[in-house]
Each structure stands twice: as C-alpha cells, then as structure tokens.
Structure 1
Amino acid sequence: MSDTIRSLKLSHVVLPLETPVSDAKVLTGRQKPLTETVLLFVEVTTEDGFEGMGFSYSKRAGGPAQFTHLREVAEVAIGQDPSDIDRIYQSLMWAGASVGRSGVATQAVAALDVALWDLKARRAGLPLAKLIGAYRDSCQVYNTSGGFLQASVEEIKEKATASLEMGIGGIKIKVGQPDWREDLRRVEAVREHLGDGPMMVDANQQWDRARARRMCRELEQHDLVWIEEPLDAWDAVGHADLSRVFDTPIATGEMLTSVPEHMALVDAGYRGIVQPDAPRIGGITPFLRFATLAAHAGLALAPHYAMEIHLHLAAAYPTEPWVEHFEWLNPLFDERIDIHDGRMWVPERAGLGFTLSDQMRALTKDTVTIG
C-alpha cells in the first residue's frame, strides 16, 4: 500500500532583522522600513514515518493571514498519498477557492507544497535538485542584502567587498529614489568600486513608464547584468516593451503570486529575466510549471529570495541562472550553503538539505497540529 499523510505541524514564526532596511518603496512613502520577516513553516509526517519541511514568508503584512488560511484548508491533505503532490495542491486550492487562486491563498499553500517536495526527495535519498533533474551542481550567486537605500555608498562598498571575499559573484543595489540623480550617483560609485564585476540594480517598481525609459537609457553605460522591477510589477506590457528596447536585460516577477500572472509577461512578448518566487507563486509545483513555460520562451531565470529553496530549482533550469543571496534566514536552520568561486553549491544532503534550528523554535509565536 502507498504511504499517507498522518499529520501536519504549522508554525507561525517572526524573525526580526538585525538592522531595519529601506528600499525605494520606503523613500517614496509607500511602505515603512522592513524590520522583520514572518514565516509559515510546515512539517509533514507520514504513516510510514517519513518527514518533510517547507516554508513560505511575508514582509510587512500577510504572515498571520497565511497561517490562518492554511490552518483552515490543510485538513484535506490528511490521508492523501504524499507522492501525489499536484493532486494535493489542487485539493488545497479548491478547499480555499472562495478567496481566489493567488495572493495569500497560494502563498499559504506554498509552505505545504514545499514540504511535500522536501519529503519526496528525502525519501528518495536525493537532494531536491537531483530528484527534479539537475543541469548543474552550482549556480551563479549575487548578494542583495548589502545594497539597501538606508546604507551610505561607503557602507554599500564595504558590504560588497565583504560579499565578494566570501565567494559571492555579483552585487545588487537598490535604486528608485525620488531623486533619480542620486540613484545615478550611487550606481556610478558602486560600479567604479566593483570594476567590471557583475552588478545589478533594483528599482522596486518605483518608476513610471517615462522615467523607466530615461533611467534604463542612462544605466546602459554601466554594463549591468539587469535592471529589476523598473515598473509596477503587474505592468506586463510595460516590462515587455522595455525588454525589447534596451540592451541591458530587464528583470521582474518576484511579486507575482500565480502562474497566470507570470504568463502575462510571456504573452506580452517579454524578453527579459523572470524572477519567480516559489513561496509566492504557490510552491514548487507551480514554480516548475511556469519554469517549463519560461524555458520554452527562451527566458533567463533568477529566482527571488529564499535561496534555501531556489538553489535547487535554479539548478534544474536549462539555462544558466542566478540565485539571490540573503543571509537573513540563516538563524532558522542548522546548516549553511556552500558558497565559493562566485557560485552557490547544491547541498549533497537529501531534500532541501536543511533542518530547523532551536532558534526557529524560540521565534515561533503559534503552532497547530492537524491530523
């Protein structure tokens, strides 16, 4: 007989950041500085004793909603075969259909979906990348956490140097301030500091179409790997237009929370870099579905945040991707990812390759066990 899901443990975790950070959304008055990351963890156990762990997250708002939504619908997974991940995914989406198939609904289900993939790979004794089918054992890695706008140019330079010394290959900094001239000054200073090393910029959706075209034109001279989210995340046509006009690749997608939202970019003729986020798009199941379509469209990949998950998914993408380095989630896990020579290396451990730390337990604000 096949194995079945016996129980699910849901944990609501609040992880404070050592230093509050600000991107352009803060400087334009649309958001407050980011002070914490709120996570939804799922630990799944089967009747045969196999286990898996997955997580989703939110920033500034939505964490309690994710926890509450999954607590409402997770019961439908009990008794199902954990290998039937897509079937379970669909049953969870139907159980919560009244709130839609994007946003909080998909982000809540994502934590369980990731846990089921982790379980499947652990049971097979394989790293998740190997279970899916890896193209490579490591991926290019760039750092974002040192490039936020509350930091001075000198601080960004120091953090960039530290990142490069620890083996990270590329550096991304934030732009999109109300004073676009200050953006250009910061980019020029960091580009000079890095020499010809890989560099990216991220405007966090703060330009309109006219400003985005002007800024992309100004930034062409700096030989950037990409310009990220120059426009509103849901402006698929605008991003597609920019991607066809400029030599510097355009990148977007991190904010989108379903496969159809991502496919709007492809349908609009987008030629840039896609940045799906597994915890936001709904988990590994929809991530892989979109990744297949993106690869067919010839798009490059650079998944957003959550390197503990995305390293495996990037390693299974046909063309060479980038993985984003954030050390913020390190306290939640006992293990660390190997980074050297500008690359992030897939763990040889089974599943995602991570176990939950005592600190994660200490940061847990609420738990519920289902089943």
Structure 2
Amino acid sequence: MVSTPNTTTPAALQRGEATLDEIAEIRLSSVYLPLATPVSDAKVLTGRQKPMTEVAFLFVEIGTAEGHRGIGFSYSKRAGGPGQFAHAKEIAPTLLGEDPSDIAKLWTKLVWAGASVGRSGLATQAVAAFDVALWDLKATRAGLPLAKLLGAHRDSVRCYNTSGGFLHTPTEQVLENASASLAQGIGGIKIKVGQPDGKADLRRLAAVREHVGDDVPLMVDANQQWDRATAQRMGRALEEFGLVWIEEPLDAYDAKGHAALAASLDTPVATGEMLASVAEHWELLRHDAADIIQPDAPRIGGITQFLKLAALAEHQQVQLAPHFAMEIHLHLAAAYPLEPWVEHFDWLEPLFNERLRISGGRMHVSSRPGLGITLSEQARAWTREEQAFRARS
C-alpha cells in the first residue's frame, strides 16, 4: 500500500479567528546622526578607537492592513551601520502577511531567517529594530504608552546625564555641563574615566564632586580600559567620592574579574552595555559580576529579549540602568520592579518631533501611545538609504 503524503498545514500554523491583522508594509531607513563635536572616551585615549563623529541608525516602520503603524530603531557607533541595514533588507520580507501581535514568534522567525550569522551581534541588532517597531505598534493600537502596556511600576524613572562628561571635554566645560544638566532637572551626572594617567581621572572627578556637592548622584565610566590590577587600585581610590557606580571597569566579557571586583569594593560595579545577547548577560548574573546591569535593548535583540533579561535580573535582585536609547529604555525601566536609572543623552533629540519631560531628577513617561515618538523632518534629511517592502494585494 502506498501512503499519501500529508500536505495539510499543521493546526498550530493555521490562521484562526484570533488573527486580527497582518503586516502589509515595511519601510527601512538608514539615518546618520552627525555629532557637533568628535566624541572621545577612554577607548580613544588608549588608541583602540577613533573619535566618534556620527551615529548610524536603522529605523524600521511597520504598517498593517488595518492601518496601524509602529516605529523602531537600532543603532551603531563608528562601524556596523551599513551591515545592519543590509541584514535588515534581507530578512524584512519574511514579516509580510504575518500577524503583528505575535511578536515573540516573529522575533524567532527573523532570527532563523539569518541564522547562519548567529544570534548575537550585528544580526540581532538588526532584528531589534523590527522587534521594537512591533511593540510600538501593539501599544499604539491599544492606546497605551508602552510602559503601561508592559505594566509600569512607576510613571517616572531616575535619570542621569552622560553626554556632558566625555574625555574630549575640558574639565571646566564638564563642570558647566553638569550645572546645566542639574538645572534642567536631571538627577545625576556621569563622567568618563580610564585615561592612561589615573591621577588625571582622580583630579577631574574631585573637581566635579566639589562642584556639584556631596548630595548629587555621581557615576564614572572606564569603558573597559582597566586591567584587573588597575581596576582594583582605581576602585579603592574612587571610594572616597561616594559614587553610585563604577561602570565597565574591565573587559565586557570578564565576568570573573567583575565578580571579584564587585565583591571587594563598597562602590557598586555596573556593566553590560556592550553585550549583544541575553546569554552573554546571564554570564554576568550567574557569576554575581554586576551590582547594576546595563543592557541595551537595540543591542540584545529588542524589547522581547530585554524582557527576558529583566526577569532574570529581577530574580537575582540586580539593579537596572539601561544603556543609551532613552526613548526606548524609559518605558522598559518604568516596568522594572526594582528602582532603576535611565541614561539621558541629548544627542538623539533632533531625530524625533517629541521631547521627553524631565524634572525633579526623573524622566517622565508621557501619555502618548507606544514609544511616543515620530521621526522628524531632520531625520528624513539625514537618511542615506531607504528600502520599502509591501505585501502583494
């Protein structure tokens, strides 16, 4: 007897009554944000990188057959922007015709569409822009800010400024920048350290602490430029300043080194921004390598992955301070159970028509649905490449 192949679609894959909408169009944009001044941190002073002059953004705009829209973005500094855009162009068509509500399913589909290049790094950073757009679409369709859709624990989040304290900035200007940030309502100040001369870092930090006073939350960021012995010596020297944290004192993947340092210092250790997957962050969590974890949703694959990591971090009772992309991270931090921080960068403001409200040391979740952002005409003008995909009618 000859058997007949089963050609029916498995029930789990059939479109049912719960499928209410479908993705009809996708637009990709490669946008380059110019920086007014070349930016340097410790990686530049140690010769590992050149000053940063621009930031490459991958924007994804998704539209559905029912007329709903969502926007998401990822980014790259110094290198990788063209690669993200190229990968996004390859995988975007796989979303056409899909139900935009099935975000976790679509994340997996996008990852498998580019599986040969892995599940971290540039590939998942491209996926992140789609994922963020889908979450924005879902919240917008629900008429809720994303934080409320996720389930907010608070309507505002403590915020600190980073963009005023880079190492290319003279100390006197850093002091002026700190005053301006505090006057704007920002709650804390972070400055860059990790210069080849550690004494120069200490002098600079002492000037900032004296200028802002003992009650202002102050953080430092070494951008991975210390070895273990230097981090230990500098960590001890920094204790007197009452810092909220020491950020990236060691190589991002040195979980054991970070764990030993965190155990030996009174000052909390923060790290995680350079990691590009949940699995990489889990190495930090399982080694107790960070008092404060600093994931970046666009770097680890988007909001879907960030929520997985947030659950792991909460289980370990680790504090949260997401890196960069405040337009996204404000919502995610607002939904984290333990009181978090969010990073303020004024660099990104020209990209969007809206502004985030800051007062009393906190960044406030607006009543606007979704992420609450729309691309500005300036962002359109900075676009170097676009690609559109539409479902067949």
Deviation at 1:74, TM superposition (A): 1.3
Counterparts of 1:253-332 in structure 2, within 5 Å, are 253-332=272-351
TM-score normalised to structure 2 length: 0.94
| Match 1:191 to one of 195, 201, 209 | 209
Any idea what the Cα deviations from partners look like across 1:321-346, whole Å, max 9, x if unmatched?
Answer: 00100010111100000000100000
Taking only the aligned residue pairs, the percentage that are identical comes to: 66
Is 1:30 aligned to residue 48 of structure 2?
yes
Contact 2:353–2:375 under 8 Å retained in 1: yes
- Letter of the 1:343 partner, please give it: R
Contact 1:244–1:271 under 8 Å retained in 2: no
| Match 1:225 to one of 228, 244, 249 | 244
Deviation at 1:30, TM superposition (A): 0.4
Contact 2:271–2:290 under 8 Å retained in 1: no
Measured in 1, the distance between the counterparts of 2:358 and 2:328 equals 15
Counterparts of 1:51-66 in structure 2, within 5 Å, are 51-66=69-84
Deviation at 1:268, TM superposition (A): 1.3
Any idea what the Cα deviations from partners look like across 1:258-281, whole Å, max 9, x if unmatched?
Answer: 000000001212241000000001
Counterpart for residue 69 of structure 1 = 87
Moved over 4 A (4+): none
Counterparts of 1:85-234 in structure 2, within 5 Å, are 85-196=103-214, 197-234=216-253
Measured in 1, the distance between the counterparts of 2:259 and 2:97 equals 44
Measured in 1, the distance between the counterparts of 2:288 and 2:359 equals 36
Measured in 1, the distance between the counterparts of 2:121 and 2:290 equals 25
Measured in 2, the distance between the counterparts of 1:258 and 1:239 equals 18
Measured in 1, the distance between the counterparts of 2:56 and 2:258 equals 29
* Alignment RMSD (CA, Å): 0.7
Please, which runs of 5 or more residues in structure 1 have no aligned partner? Answer: none
Please, which runs of 5 or more residues in structure 2 have no aligned partner? Answer: 1-18
Measured in 1, the distance between the counterparts of 2:192 and 2:339 equals 24
Question: Computing the radius of gyration over CA atoms, which structure comes out larger, 1 or 2?
Answer: 2
Contact 1:166–1:339 under 8 Å retained in 2: yes
Deviation at 1:355, TM superposition (A): 0.8
- Letter of the 2:275 partner, please give it: L
- Letter of the 2:160 partner, please give it: Y
Counterpart for residue 348 of structure 1 = 367
- Letter of the 1:103 partner, please give it: G
Per the alignment, in what secondary structure is the counterpart of residue 346 of structure 2?
Answer: coil
Contact 1:129–1:312 under 8 Å retained in 2: yes
Deviation at 1:137, TM superposition (A): 0.3
Contact 1:240–1:272 under 8 Å retained in 2: no
